[in-house]
Amino acid sequence: MKILVTGARGFVGKNLIAELKNRNYGDIFEYGRETDPSLLDEYCKEADFVFHLAGVNRPKDQSEFMDGNYGFTSTLLDTLKKHQNTCPVMISSSTQSILDNPYGISKKAGEDLIFGYSKITGAKVLVYRLPNVFGKWCKPNYNSAVATFCHNVAHELPINVHDSSVVMNLVYIDDVVEELIRALKGKENKIEEFCEVPVVYKVTLGEVVDLLYSFKKSREERSIPDMSNLFTKKLYSTYLSYLPEDKFSYELKMNLDQRGSFTEFIKTPDRGQVSVNISKPGITKGNHWHHTKNEKFLVVSGTGVIRFRKIGTEEIIEYFVTGDKMEVVDIPTGYTHNIENLGDTDMVTIMWANEYFDPKRPDTYFLEV
């Protein structure tokens, strides 16, 4: 299959092309502003499908709206007609096409042009009126508030919100790409004459800003946002893509003593806490029990033993553990327990607890195994 993508270096174009290549969708003709214009003739002759994503939304002069959003569309369609190529054509329009502004008028003109082309040639056309699209690789300080906010928060720059109650209709780039690939397969989500991305998020500017600042804070607090909320999950992925390249990492606080160290890695309100415990050779840690708090231990390096004793009994239960055999040991409530390093090197244990540590309510009681 031969696929022509105009606007190949734009936000949507780059993401779409990357996924088309991931899925091995044949030959992809990438056409952008810096492409030799003569190649358009060749591409239009051979294409089996056209994704027309090229457009203008932040011109130096308003006349460029019509040149970019109508003029080039006309050139593209005329070139297809020249070669009698009636392959399907998808065009990215905008929800602003119903508005009486230069950008909206130019987008509406492009829609009318392609619908007219379909009537004349019989070619299948797919017109997507996209709302605001967010995700990785979107240029900040251009035409996306989300991209600008992500960039500024990640780079510790101020952001300006004139009205936090403004509601935005947002679609995530991966959802857009998935829908476009469905369209390529002839399974587009079409409502009457227009197509649309099925998943649209309605959120206020204030909600977006609050989430972004919470993402920034989460690195300091070693927490993770609520990934069960799909919008939060997608916005968090977007935010991380704007981190400065020298700020991908952040330090954790290691609680050190002669026995080794204990370091909190991730804390969540609903999925508990993950920590890294390092024990020196011959060291025993623990000797406590919990009412409600429960844990999972996974030794990833070294050799040791985890001992249990049920409260009020004398029997000691032992589980021998080693990094050579990945084995999770549950730590039930009501059992005092400890872990001893039996080897001659440091023993590293990943520890999960069903709740993050609260010094006011530790639910931890010392008792020798």
**Residues with active-site annotation:** 103
Q: How far apart are CA 354 and CA 166, in angstroms?
A: 38
Alpha helices, H only, 47-132: 63-66, 72-82, 102-121
Q: How close are the terminal C-alpha atoms of the chain, in Å?
A: 68
Q: How many residues does the chain have?
A: 369
Quickly tell me which residue has 């990833």 as its tokens. 300
- Beta strands 89-94 and 365-366, pairing class: unpaired
- Beta strands 365-366 and 284-289, pairing class: antiparallel
Number of H helices, E strands in the chain: 9, 21
Query: Taking Cα atoms as reference points, which of 199, 193, 160, 194 lies closest to residue 179?
Result: 199
Find out whether 270 and 340 touch, Cβ atoms under 8 Å: no
Structure token digits, residue 169: 């209709």
Structure token digits, residue 160: 């300006």
Residue 116: CA count within 13 A, CB half-sphere: 11
